[in-house]
Amino acid sequence: MNPEDRKTKQLPKVGIYGLTSCAGDQLTIVNCEDQILDIFGSAEISSFLMAKSDNTEGEIDVAIVEGSVSSKGDLEMLEDIRKRSKVLIALGNCACNGGPQAACVAAEDHKERMKQVYGDVKWSLPDPIDAKPLSAYVKVDMQITGCPIDKWEFLRALGRLVKGDGPIPISYPVCVECKYNENECLLFKNEMCLGPITLAGCNSVCINHNIPCFGCRGAVIEANVAGEAEMLVNMKHPQFPDRKNFDYQDVKNRAMMYGGNTMAELLDKAKVKGAKK
Amino acid sequence: MKEIKVEHLARVEGHGAITVEVDGRKVKDVKFEVLEGPRLFETITLGKTPAENLSVVPRICAICTLSHRYASLRGLEKCLDIKIPEKTHWMRELMLAGEAIESHSLHVYLLALPDLLGYPNAVAMVTKYADSVVQGLTLKKFGNSIMELCSARATHGENPIIGGFGKFPTNEKLYAIADQAKTLIPYAEGVIDILGNMQYPTFFEKETVFACCNPPDNQYGLVSDEIILSDGKKFSCEDYTKITNERVVPHSFAKRSLYKNSPFSVGSLARVNNLGDRLQERAGDAYEKYKNARWKKNPVYNNLAQAIELLYALEQVPVYVEKLVELKDPPIVKPKRQSGKGTGAVEAPRGTLYHSYEVKDGRMAKVDIITPTAQNYEDIEKYLRLAAEYMVSEGRKDDDVRFQLEVIARAYDPCISCSAHLVKLVRK
Amino acid sequence: MIDNSCIAGDRSNPFLPEMMRIVRRFDLTSDVRFFQVRPTEASRALTLYYKPGTFMMVSNPGVGEAPLSISSTPSRPGLIEFCVRNVGHVTNSLFRMKENDEIGIRGPYGNGFPIETLKGRDLIIVMGGLGAAPLRSLLLYALDNRDDFGEIYLLHGAKNPHEMLFRKEFYDMMERDDLHCMLSVDKDDTGKWPAKVGLVTSLFKEIKHIDPKTTHAAICGPPVMYRFVLQELLKLKIPKHQILMNLERRMKCGVGKCGHCVVREVYTCLDGPVFSYWDVLNMKELIY
Amino acid sequence: MRILKLKKKDLKKFLESISSFGELWAPVKKGNRWAFQPTAPDNIDLDAGRTILPLKKFMVPQKFTMFKYNKEGYTPELSNIPSRIVFGAHPCDIAGLNILDKLFTENFPDPYYIERRKKTAIIGLSCLPDEFCFCNETGTDTVEEGFDLFLSETGTDFYLVWIGSSLGDDLMRMAENLFSEDIAFEDIQKFTNWKKERAKKFKVNIDLTGMPSIFELSLNSKIWDKIGERCLACGSCSMVCPTCNCYDVKDTVELRECKGERNRCWDSCTLHEYSLVAGGHNFRANRSDRLRLWYTHKLESFIGAYGKPSCVGCGRCLVTCPVDINAYTLAKTLREEEVFFK
Ligand SMILES: Cc1cc2nc3c(=O)[nH]c(=O)nc-3n(C[C@H](O)[C@H](O)[C@H](O)COP(=O)(O)OP(=O)(O)OC[C@H]3O[C@@H](n4cnc5c(N)ncnc54)[C@H](O)[C@@H]3O)c2cc1C
Ligand code: SF4
Ligand code: SF4
Ligand code: SF4
């Protein structure tokens, strides 16, 4: 690290954008009440529609994009951002995995669902399309996932990014943090916990509150989805004869709720006994 | 013919745009558009368990996450015939107060004040209005800390579950919250004075109808099974469609509501207009001090109403805490049945929110969610049109028109992402 | 045991890096850069001691720490040299650093080459790619103490000329008559390569003046290299325990605590990184 | 070693009188399990079973800061380590600490471990096995060292108290009048009877003799693939194991300034990145390879190096692994040549 270097160098240009989402990840940034001035001081935030009006849309160093691509408009915006940014970061579950709006991808045809919800309408707006994560369309350099993102993970990542280093991605499942927090494992209390296949980073907040993990951070690298499903649906644990099994469809529903496209693929590959095709 | 366009409405949640078609000095059309892709939440949970539904529906909107959760819980618990214990009830009230504090302070200090004081954003205000910015951030953080305490995290916390809470906070933590609430009351009073003494433009004023929940026992509040309108009519929340009957317009993924064929408003201003007389203590005083007939016709007063509610919520926190610390943590109530129907209504910061469900054999069979912004849509467009027509006829500059329209739209605090998820009843 | 002043860092806290200054840096290839560093107090530089084949943990504050082999020789005290390939966070951040910037260093760690045992022996040093980093230390050490060793063969292979580390330095060594310096490239796309073209294994036929019983071989290179080079060395009848290899594992501490480099009961950082082929055969998981 | 008597009814008084040494931590019920938590002497569960996390959390916390750094360099964070009394440590857990002692205090002693070990008074307490304990098989059902005081049940109204260290002696002297030295013959008898009764209560039969050769022989066994398929790589087993000590190191940096922390946190060999090196080569890309490392390390390697397994028979992996992979099922599977995991 060279302190002189930092003084003479211009602050990196960062743009924060949102596609289709609940805006929870951007909100989480706004929620960094104690750090917000540092955020604005460590980088030149050239665009952040949710927090400021004087936005400029030129070349930037780091683009942070929330939300999934759910309309042609989203897609155009994303492609434009990609073109003018050196590093593109997918922020939050929607951007990384498609988000809840991608939960039904495999289930039904998108047009059919649009009709169910809105009836027969001819749209004058950019065409709605099936929700997909950013990586389905453009190169994504890094992912910071979560529904919503963890504020500390984001700040750690941003701290490294503005100094020119890539964030250190998390590569372990929620169970690790759950054990850090010395929780009793909910799988032995007959809860359908997705901790073993879900990317950590939330400090196992749900399990700390006796709530099973819903997988809101998406799949961990090398998630043994087949093993998890097999365990939840079929496996008897000789040490715990009372442990109950779940219906495959319920397991699948839960896994896909936030795991979106990624989880859908993993589940398709897993051949779980008792899975109805 | 030319168009005046606000392409990306800044400092709101999600993506909105305003288009004004102008022909000479005449406004041909005004459109308030939602550009965000549709998320089809109501089809996502069909066939899934109520627990899954509860987890995912708050993801409709990050700012109103707990309102969604609360409304969903009320709907689902009716379906499953669950009566919740007292402590659970007060915890839920507390979490809603936390959300109101967070959302209102964010909106009042960080989104609306820069407009009214003429700054592009709150950070830019720091040089001259550092106090306001710091107070806003402090209040917002406090709101977040309540949400975190009750729901496990500031946004999309999973702690409130069907039949109770995964874990109740300790009394120590509750007392700390109550104490802090008391110290923040002067902030809220300060901002009420700033907003109450401000001059607001009058040229788009027009009376409208207001709707909100009607809490029992003549109390002010945010939760009820009854809806009250400013014309004096009352409805059960189960009959919400009579008020909201929605329609879809081609230029927006959000759906819109009309009451008796004309637009109406929900939100802080609606609540303060309909129920303001019930406000007690300092919030009551503030209401009396600034009460004014123009509140019924000028949406920009919404910010003042929010500030009054901010004060109200701060005053409620110690009240709820007093009740909570006396009660023992109850176990989670199990469902009495696996099939049933029910609608839950709560007042989200932006207005009445309905979650209407049908559960069959433990799986979601019908989901209908009506968000506040969807109900406000027609009214927002109405006021935008009034303002545009006046300003264009006066020959004001485009930038001027653009700015004023943005101010009106933002005053409503439209949670555009949430309206985009808005979907009609799915009948199979 | 080496006393405190000889190591970079602090004996009482083996994790504590000592700040050192980058004195010089230049590119060896397109993705490997050479760094010379010395302690911030120049006088301390002369007290540092290490063995060829050992490594140090190099830190860039705020980025992380990475093990790097020492490329310099203790016989030329004063500066410590590293070759760094830009592959990840720490290495990438080192590439952004300039002369006079400071980095944290602790070490040396590892067993290093058994230089006492090697005295009086013939040496075959086979390097490929970044394997040149630790073996250059041994080579320079042997050349500086030339009388202690018998015949010395250097076999250095690279994919093509501009990927050969220290090509100028080694090319100059071809002139020496106390060293058999053999350099080869798999392919010469410059058309100007003055030495051999072919696989590094093709150089073995030129090894003549050795007595396998008293010859030690030291190899380090990319995983694919090992299999073929080992075959050649066995053909030369070099005993398995005299074939030394420099192995690599993920490491977080360098001092046998973090567990990452463990293979069975062996810690690569304490018991290695130099292993004999015999060790490797007995420990099936050491190389893949 | 000096052995004294302490009346059971005086235990609370004793713990109160040593409170000036540091905060008292003892097993407290957490759901259906236990956890070491700060607690008042009144709330201690003397019949507590195994805690979710073992004693290692006191010596190498889940996460802690090793250094703070700024432009000038690194400053070790050793000054705010609290003094604590840990009461109710079971013999297997203390045996686990003894193994960690070897690792962290020999060869480049780890100052963070040593400082915490010094500042933590360990008061052991004998226990009865539940259906998952097998410390009798690993030779850790009694411990001779590693504690400051050890209280053993006798089946009567007093504990026998072993003084294991000079700190233990100091603690005892803080309430010397509560202890007595006159141990009668029948006291000894009662104690040995209690021990016999205890020995009968073990239910897990796990045969660890000859494990090193068994591992060597089954290095390429198909069993590992089966286990790998089943393992969820959740890391729980190594998090709860008293002798697992792998850790990861991560730096953090502040947004605006050049300063931050170097932090250490528990890692696990069952996780994907464990042996991954820059450039993408993963020495243990398969779960089966990683689990083999885990269990060779527990049941084989340590025997090779120190003559006994590094498994202390606490039964934590038995009650933690959601898919029933643990020291017991593993040893059984390998030995009986039968595919335990269908
Ligand atoms: C004994 C030894 C000597 C080495 N000598 C050299 C050398 O002289 N020149 C050189 O360029 N490289 C050398 N390496 C490899 C070098 O350590 C890695 O390239 C480096 O750690 C990558 O770190 P990074 O932060 O840039 O990469 P990242 O991918 O960001 O790695 C993150 C962390 O993982 C660990 N890690 C990743 N790859 C390796 C690896 N290959 N070995 C050990 N730990 C790793 C480190 O702790 C590292 O900080 C050596 C490795 C070992 C074990
Ligand atoms: S409760 Fe869930 S996250 Fe925790 S250990 Fe069990 S499976 Fe893993
Ligand atoms: S525990 Fe699971 S559902 Fe809960 S926050 Fe973490 S990843 Fe999301
Ligand atoms: S606890 Fe079981 S499933 Fe989890 S990593 Fe260990 S062996 Fe695998």
Which among B276, B52, B323, B292 is positioned nearest to B195, based on CA atoms?
B292
> Domains in chain A, please, with CATH?
3-162 (3.40.50.700), 174-269 (no CATH)
Calculate mean pLDDT across residues C158-187: 86
Let me know if residue B254 belongs to a domain.
yes
Per the domain annotation, does B428 fall within a domain? no
Residues C51 and C192 in one domain: no
Is B427 inside a domain boundary?
Answer: no
**B196-230 pLDDT tens trace:** 888 888 888 888 899 999 999 899 999 999 999 99
Task: Kindly identify the ligand whose nearest atom is closest to the C-alpha of A187.
Answer: 2
CB contact under 8 A, A173 and D323: no
Which two structure tokens, joined as six digits, stand for C68?
């790097």
pLDDT tens track for D118-161:
999 999 999 989 888 888 888 888 888 899 999 998 888 889 89
pTM, two decimal places: 0.89
Q: Decide if pLDDT at A35 tops 60.
A: yes
Residue A2: per-residue pLDDT: 43
Residues 264-283 of D with CB under 8 A from A: 265-266, 268, 271-273
Residue B131 Cα to chain centre, angstroms: 26
**Range in A140-144, B410-414, C110-114 with the lowest mean pLDDT:** B410-414
3-class SS string, B191-228: HHHHHHCCCCCCCCCCCCEEEEECCCCCCCCCECCEEE
What was the pLDDT predicted at B424? 25
- Whether C184 and C148 map to the same domain: the answer is yes
Claim to verify: residue C77 and residue C178 sit in the same structural domain: no
Say yes or no: B15 and B131 in one domain: no
Mean pLDDT of chain D, nearest integer: 87
Residues of A in contact with D323 (CB under 8 A): 227, 231, 235, 237
Query: How far apart are the CA of A225 and the centre of ligand 4, in A?
Result: 14
Cβ contacts of B126 within 8 Å, gap of 6 or more:
A37, B133
My answer on whether B149 and B196 are in the same domain is yes
10 Å Cβ neighbour count for B414? 26
C264 within domain boundaries: yes
Range of the domain at B216: 41-422
Both C61 and C153 in one domain: the answer is no
- Residue D208: is its pLDDT beyond 90? no
Residues B27 and B53 in one domain: no
Torsion-angle region of A269 (φ positive above 0: left; ψ -120 to 50: alpha; else: beta): alpha
The alpha carbon of residue D313 is apart from the nearest alpha carbon of chain C, in Å, by 20
User: What are the boundaries of each domain within chain D?
Assistant: 2-199, 211-334
Q: Rg of chain C over CA atoms, in angstroms?
A: 18
Do C82 and C207 lie in a common domain?
Answer: no
The protein residue whose alpha carbon is closest to atom 8 in ligand 3 is: A216
Residues of chain A in contact with residue B11, where contact means CB-CB under 8 angstroms, are 49-53
Q: Is the domain of B266 the same as that of B160?
A: yes
Is C87 near ligand 1, meaning CB less than 6 Å away? Answer: yes
Chain B residue with the nearest C-alpha to that of A211: B166
C169 and C102, same domain (yes or no): no
Average of per-residue pLDDT across A119-141: 72
**Of residues B256 and A180, which shows the higher confidence score?**
A180
Cα C31-C32-C33 angle, rounded to 5 deg: 120
Searching chain D, which residue's CA lies closest to the CA of residue A237?
D324
Least Cα distance to D224 among D300, D286, D144 occurs for D286
For an interface test with D, the pick among C19, C225, C264 (most D C-beta atoms closer than 10 Å) comes out as: C264
Per the structure block, which two tokens stand in for A77? 């915006």
User: Which C-chain residues 4-33 have CB contacts (< 8 A) with chain D?
Assistant: 12-19
C273 CB within 6 A, ligand 1: yes
Give chain A positions within 8 Å (CB) of C97: 2
Same domain assignment for residues C200 and C141: yes
Chains A and C contact (Cβ–Cβ under 8 Å for 3 or more pairs) = yes
- Chains near A (3 or more Cβ pairs under 8 Å): B, C, D
C85/chain D closest Cα distance in angstroms? 10
Which of C109, C137, C161 is the C-terminal boundary of a domain? Answer: C109
Q: Please tell me the total count of domains within chain C.
A: 2
- What 8-state DSSP symbol labels residue C259? -
A206 lines ligand 3 (CB under 6 A): yes
Tell me how many domains chain B contains.
2
Tell me, yes or no, whether C270 and C148 share the same domain: yes
The domain containing residue C104 runs over which residues?
18-109
Please give the pLDDT value at position C1.
Answer: 41
Q: Which residues of D touch C249 (CB under 8 A)?
A: 275, 277, 283
Are C269 and C167 in the same domain? yes
Query: How far apart (Å, rounded) are the C-alpha atoms in residues C7 and D195?
Result: 52
Nearest-CA residue for ligand 4 atom 2 is: D321
The answer to whether the CB of D157 falls within 8 A of the CB of D7 is yes
pLDDT-wise least confident of B410-424, C236-250, D210-224, D249-263: B410-424
A257 Cβ inside 6 Å of ligand 3: no
Distance from CA of A243 to the nearest CA of C (A): 34
Q: Decide which of D123 and C198 is more confident.
A: D123
**C-alpha distances in angstroms, C41 versus C44, C46, C79?**
6, 10, 12
Q: What is the CATH number of the domain that holds C94?
A: 2.40.30.10
Complete DSSP assignment for B113-141: HHHHHT-SBHHHHHHHHHHHHHHHHHHHH
Residue B11 to residue A50, Cβ atoms within 8 A: yes
Looking from the CA of residue D320, the nearest atom of ligand 2 is 5
Q: What is the CATH number of the domain that holds B358?
A: 1.10.645.10
Residue A106 pLDDT greater than 50, yes or no: no
In this prediction, residue C176 carries a pLDDT of 84
Nearest to D322 among A39, A41, A231 (CB): A231
Residues of chain B with pLDDT under 70: 1-16, 34-40, 245-258, 414-428
Q: Are residues B136 and B268 in the same domain?
A: yes
Cis amide leading into C273 (omega within 30): yes
Distance (angstroms) between ligand 1 centre and the Cα of D284 equals 16
SS3 category, A34 = coil
Question: Does residue B335 belong to the interface with chain A, where contact is any CB pair within 8 Å?
Answer: no
On whether any CB of chain B is under 8 Å from the CB of A238, the answer is no
- Same domain for C252 and C171: yes
What integer pLDDT is reported at residue B416 of this predicted model?
A: 59
Residues C41 and C141 in one domain: no
Ligand 4 pocket: which of D237, D271, D289, D320 to mutate (most atoms <8 Å of CB)? Answer: D237
Say whether both B153 and B301 belong to one domain. Answer: yes
**Does a cis peptide bond (omega within 30 degrees of 0) precede residue C212?**
no
